[in-house]
Amino acid sequence: MEIREKILKLKAEKDAVILAHYYVPGDVQEVADFVGDSYYLSKVASEAKESVIVFCGVNFMGESAKMLNPDKKVIMPDLKADCPMAHMATVEGIEAARRNHEDLAVVCYINSTAEIKAHSDVCVTSSNALSVVSALPQKNIYFIPDQNLGRYISRLVPEKNFIFNDGYCHVHTSIKKDDLLKKKAELPKAKVASHPECREEILELSDFVGSTSDIIKYVEKTDAEDFLICTETGIFHALEKVGKGKRFHAVSGSQICPDMKLNTLEKLLHALETLDNELHMDEALMKKGLQPLELMLKLAD
Ligand code: 13P
Ligand code: SF4
């Protein structure tokens, strides 16, 4: 039996649902029940009825699924798949911001550890940060961990006062202005679509900025032959499905997230066979970390 068939058979036998982010390898996306951005996947996880959630993504995504649906067993093809940016904020930094600013909301990008979430007021993802931040009553926003997403949102909500942190995504910040300018010169008619984790100089040169699912929607509705894509290249799998006949180009060879690529079909099969790779979390931490996630779901809808 093919590995794909084995996975689908085991999934039914174990009463499991498979969730996959757009950055995992295409063959893994193909066996998933749901493929999407962080916001969509967290909503799907919170509503899952199956006893097992298999999360093909990185650690903070599995943790968020567990907090949102704590009675389910959450397993991951590789528990080592972690987002380095999720660790780029500290509890000390949050406490200092709370001491130094009145009327403050600690806004935590979902790409963060459960501990950071537990000390924050509200979570956001790239697709809902604008609506969530706009809905907050507080004037001061301490935006963690990603400085690039924070800066991008701050431009769209000028009435708020943002305090930034120095976190960043090594994949998105590896995309450099010179590389983009070179590609634009080679393909002058190409549209540029970028994720807000990119550097500001990349966003300024972009025709569209948005989350992974927003980039896919933009490509689908935009009349152009060539697109320069400034995000992780796992997204090309979904882009090629919606953009038949359109051509997609990376800007540099470094647009690959090594952690997302730890999610292979072989590891997914093994995780389903053994149910070994379960994500275990501290109960008290889960309860505290759930609050900002629930507020996000409430404010974003
Ligand atoms: P999205 O929520 O846009 O899918 O982004 C997740 C992510 O990890 C981007 O690097
Ligand atoms: Fe984290 Fe960047 Fe990988 Fe997204 S692409 S999971 S932000 S390291």
pLDDT digits (tens, 9 = 90+) for 87-115: 999 999 999 999 999 999 999 999 999 99
Q: Which atom of ligand 1 is nearest to the CA of 58?
A: 8
Task: Tell me if 255 CB under 6 Å of ligand 1.
Answer: no
Q: Which atom of ligand 1 is nearest to the CA of 260?
A: 8
C-alpha neighbours within 13 Å on the C-beta side of residue 241: 12
Q: Is residue 159 part of a domain?
A: yes
Mean pLDDT across the chain, nearest whole number? 98
User: pLDDT tens digit string along 16-26?
Assistant: 999 999 999 99
Tally helices (H) and strands (E) across the chain. Answer: 14, 12
The ipTM is 0.98
Q: 77 and 29 in one domain?
A: yes
Q: 3-state class of 114 per DSSP? A: helix
Nearest of 225, 280, 257, 239 to residue 63 by alpha carbon: 280
Q: Is residue 255 part of a domain?
A: no
Smallest-distance ligand from the CA of 145: 2
Q: Is residue 22 part of a domain?
A: yes
Q: 72 and 134 in one domain?
A: no
Report pLDDT for 301: 65
Task: Tell me if 260 CB under 6 Å of ligand 2.
Answer: yes
CB 87 within 8 A of CB 113: yes
* pLDDT tier at 244, thresholds 50, 70, 90: confident
Q: Is residue 59 part of a domain?
A: yes
Ramachandran class of 245: left when φ > 0, alpha when ψ lies in -120 to 50, beta otherwise: left
CA angle 220, 258, 144 (to 5 degrees): 80
Q: Is residue 228 part of a domain?
A: yes
Q: 176 and 151 in one domain?
A: no
Task: Tell me if 126 CB under 6 Å of ligand 1.
Answer: yes
Domain range for 26: 3-81+260-280
Q: 163 and 179 in one domain?
A: no
What's the CA-to-centroid distance between 21 and ligand 1, angstroms?
Answer: 8
What are the distances in angstroms from CA 201 to CA 172, 179, 185, 210?
Answer: 12, 12, 16, 15
Q: Is residue 94 part of a domain?
A: yes
Task: Tell me if 83 CB under 6 Å of ligand 2.
Answer: yes
Q: 97 and 32 in one domain?
A: no
User: pLDDT tens digit string along 267-292?
Assistant: 999 999 999 999 999 999 999 999 99
User: pLDDT tens digit string along 159-177?
Assistant: 999 999 999 999 999 999 9
Share of the chain above pLDDT 70, in %: 100
- Mean pLDDT of the 41-49 span: 98
pTM recorded for the entire structure: 0.97
Q: Is residue 176 part of a domain?
A: yes
What's the CA-to-centroid distance between 103 and ligand 2, angstroms?
Answer: 31
Query: Which protein residue has the closest C-alpha to ligand 1 atom 4?
Result: 37
Domain count, the chain: 3
* pLDDT tier at 1, thresholds 50, 70, 90: confident
Report pLDDT for 203: 98
Q: 142 and 127 in one domain?
A: yes
Q: 267 and 211 in one domain?
A: no
Determine the Cα–Cα distance for residues 127 and 41; give it in Å rounded to an integer.
Answer: 12
Q: 125 and 55 in one domain?
A: no
Q: Indicate whether 131 pLDDT > 80.
A: yes
Task: Tell me if 232 CB under 6 Å of ligand 2.
Answer: yes
Q: 151 and 105 in one domain?
A: yes
Domain with 209 in it: what CATH number?
A: 3.40.50.10800
Query: Which protein residue has the closest C-alpha to ligand 2 atom 7?
Result: 169
Smallest-distance ligand from the CA of 39: 1
